[in-house]
Amino acid sequence: MARTFPEKASAFSPGHLLILAFKREATLEVWASDGEAQNYLLLKLFRICASSGEWGPKRRYGDGQVPEGFFEIDQFDPESAFYPSLWVSYRNRSDRVHGSRANPGGDIYVHGNCVTIGCRRSRTTE
């Protein structure tokens, strides 16, 4: 990914990254900004080769759904067997209101290796 920045005439240390995933289109876009300007530059477009569930949001543990909405990347896992591995901040406000209160699920990752397995890895804190 670092090689993409010079190709796009952008510094490698952007102030902000924006990752947009589109279920229906099965694409993931990576955008970057220097943090000072509000202009974002499209760095890379990826094809989503595997996902689980049906159309609609994730509401409970084990439903196989991919969450929908706005999230932050909580953690990168460079040692994952499914590199790159990005841990998503699921649940957002909508998920907390509409999802299962007993067991809403969690440990949501966007990862490589063209598989969808349902992530059950425990969260690490520093």
**Which amino acid is it at 81?**
A
Q: Which among 91, 95, 47 is positioned nearest to 72, based on CA atoms?
A: 91
Residue 120 has φ and ψ, to the nearest 5°, of: -125, 20
Catalytic residue among 16, 98, 111, 114: 111
Catalytic residue among 49, 98, 114, 119: 119
Query: Active site includes 119?
Result: yes
In angstroms, rounded to a whole number, what is the distance separating the alpha carbons of residues 33 and 3?
A: 16
* Residue 71: strand, helix, or coil: coil
Q: Which among 90, 110, 89, 108 is positioned nearest to 28, based on CA atoms?
A: 110
Burial (CB count within 10 angstroms: exposed 0-12, middle 13-18, buried 19+), residue 116? middle
Query: Active site includes 111?
Result: yes
Active-site residue numbers? 111, 119
